[in-house]
Amino acid sequence: MITLASPDQPTLEDFGSDVWWIVLIKIVGVFVVLVVMTLFAIVFERKVVSRMQQRIGPNRVGPRGYLQSLADGLKLAFKEDIMPALADKPVYFLAPVIAAVPAFLAFSVIPMGPTVSIFGERTPLQLTDAPIGVLVVLACSAMGVYGIVLAGWASGSTYPLLGGLRSAAQMVSYEIAMGLSIVAVFLYAGSMSTSEIVAAQADGNEVSFFGWEFTGPSWFAVLLPVSFVIYAIAVVGETNRAPFDLPEAESELVGGFHTEYSSLKFALFFLAEYINMVTVSALAATLFLGGWRAPWPLSIWDGANSGWWPMLWFFLKVVAALFVFIWLRGTLPRLRYDQFMRFGWKVLVPTALVWILAVATMRTVSREADLSTGQVALFVGVPIALVVLGGLAIASRASNRDTRLMAEEAAAGAVHAVDPEPEVLAPAGPRRRPAQRTGPSRAEGGFPIPPMDLRVPPSPRLRRAEPVGAATRGEGGVVATGRRGSTRTEVGPTDSTEDGDV
């Protein structure tokens, strides 16, 4: 099944026999590539998003503003490192490290090029590979979840905890969809090793379409379109990017899991997020877009798939995938949490399962009927993909029918403010009253807020805090704060300005 397209194509036997300094060079190379890609991705994202929003974006630091993220990174490193008083210190310290380390590790199995010569040594442009190559990436992304979850928990604050809970649920659910989408690639490539998956996409498929012979594309994105779409959606959820950035939803959770983090610890989270983006883009290029192999018009040139050129094609594919990430962020609003979870569990996972069934059937048919992969994909796979996607479109339209009709009525003016009772439930919670020039005053029944000159008393949850009103209780001054170990016996004069009503 694995056809060796050229002697430059590395196989599994080529790994694990490098000289130590070649390994060292590769490790440093992967590290540098990831850091540089992160710096590039940040500035690229800011520029692309600003173009999409009719702005200019960063244009001050360096040539055309391209050193902006370097300056931001330096600034971040020199900021004050804050340790919240209620933080669980070891876990708070470990969380950014746990987030960043697996992000770096995952890239070690990504093939960036064929076998090349480095200082006279023939070696593949890939740090390492294993029969389970892709599973290493999955394992690393599974470990990366811990960084975010623990950051949310260890901060000892409400918004980070909510962000951590959300990300735990989100990343576990979307990792299932991501893993299932990759299964079809394993079935087609016959291997889980990244270098062999690239090799499996080397040659075009001979397809005879009613007597018309041509060579079809061999990218798994074309052969397995449903897998590719599911993968693309699932990794956006997996990397916490918009429109699935619920763990750090700014308008709801301040910063989510990293609200309490600053300085280098925050920088590590930032780094991990962008490295994860680069890694899943590189994995998308490897699994679905032919890896480092040149796309069609370029592949006519014989030298395109040998030497160092493939690295260029590879990174062009990665940047294209990154652009899609940014495009999504610039276009789509954030999903509601219930929509997001329903989408993951009720749409992505069942679709992936049905698709795996279809792909397995296609494999069996092609083996039994002795048809070529391309023919089966064309005559069976494309109709099945169309049926699956069409079914999804109809199902989503049917399930959103109420909302759509109601929105159309509202847009057509059927729902007026003067209507006694619209067909919806009333909004909950206190509503903002219409704004006035001076703003509503508290006397009119606004939301009760403390006076603006309030001196905030120390939090009773802090152990070192003086229990408010200890002296005035009069029962020996023993006040249980509901927390073990914080029972105080101190009887002392307390500042009567802060507890005047006790």
Partner 1 sequence: MSVLAAAADTGVSLGTGEAVVFWVLAPVALAGALGMVFSRNAVHSALWLVNTMLVLGVFYVVQEAPFLGAVQIIVYTGAIMILFLFVLMLVGRDSSDSVVETLRGQRVAAIVLGVGFAGLAGTGIARATQDLGATGLADAQPDGNIEAIAELLFTRYLLAFEVTSALLITAAVGAMVLAHIEREPGTRQTQKELSRARFLTTDRPQTYPGPGVFARANSVAAPALLPDGRLAEDSFATGIDPQEVDQMPRPTGREQLGSPDHQLGTQDGSSGGGALR
Binding site for partner 1 (CB under 8 A): 88, 91, 130-132, 135-136, 138-139, 142-143, 145-146, 149-150, 152-153, 156, 161, 164-165, 168-169, 171-172, 175, 179, 192, 251, 336-339, 403, 406-407, 410, 415, 422, 424-428, 430-433, 435-442, 446-449, 452, 483
Which residues are CB-neighbours of 205 under 8 A, at least 6 positions away? Answer: 215, 216, 217, 218, 223, 372, 373, 374, 375, 377
> 303 vs 485, which CB is nearer to partner 1?
485
CB of 66 to partner 1, least distance (A): 25
Residue 114: CB atoms within 10 Å: 27
Q: Are 228 and 389 in contact (CB under 8 A)?
A: no
Q: Residue 296: which of 213, 185, 203 has the closest Cα? A: 203
> 474 vs 485, which CB is nearer to partner 1?
485
CB of 412 to partner 1, least distance (A): 13
> 473 vs 483, which CB is nearer to partner 1?
483
> 105 vs 222, which CB is nearer to partner 1?
105
Distances, alpha carbon 78 to alpha carbons 65, 68, 96, 257, in Å: 21, 16, 17, 22
Q: Residue 216: which of 225, 206, 228 has the closest Cα? A: 206
> 428 vs 456, which CB is nearer to partner 1?
428
CB of 139 to partner 1, least distance (A): 4
| Burial of 80 from C-beta contacts in 10 A (0-12 / 13-18 / 19+) | exposed
CB of 427 to partner 1, least distance (A): 5
> Is 269 strand, coil or helix?
helix
Q: Which tokens is 260 given?
A: 């309490």
Q: What is the CA radius of gyration of the chain?
A: 28
Distances, alpha carbon 36 to alpha carbons 43, 63, 179, 234, 315, in Å: 11, 16, 28, 25, 12
CB of 252 to partner 1, least distance (A): 10
Q: Are 188 and 373 in contact (CB under 8 A)?
A: yes
> 6 vs 158, which CB is nearer to partner 1?
158
> 172 vs 392, which CB is nearer to partner 1?
172
E strands of 224-345, at which residues? none
Which residue type does 267 have?
A: A
CB of 173 to partner 1, least distance (A): 10
> 206 vs 250, which CB is nearer to partner 1?
250
Please tell me the distance from the alpha carbon of residue 266 to that of residue 99, in angstroms, as a whole number: 11
> Residues 202, 220, 307, CA angle at the centre, nearest 5°?
30
CB of 105 to partner 1, least distance (A): 11
CB of 218 to partner 1, least distance (A): 23
> 238 vs 273, which CB is nearer to partner 1?
238
User: For residue 219, how many C-alpha atoms fall within 13 Å in the half-sphere facing its CB?
Assistant: 18
> 37 vs 287, which CB is nearer to partner 1?
287
HEC per residue, 323-344: HHHHHHHHHCCCCCHHHHHHHH
| Kind plus residue range of the DSSP H or E element containing 285 | helix 263-288
CB of 467 to partner 1, least distance (A): 17
CB of 340 to partner 1, least distance (A): 10
Q: Residue 291: which of 100, 117, 133 has the closest Cα? A: 133
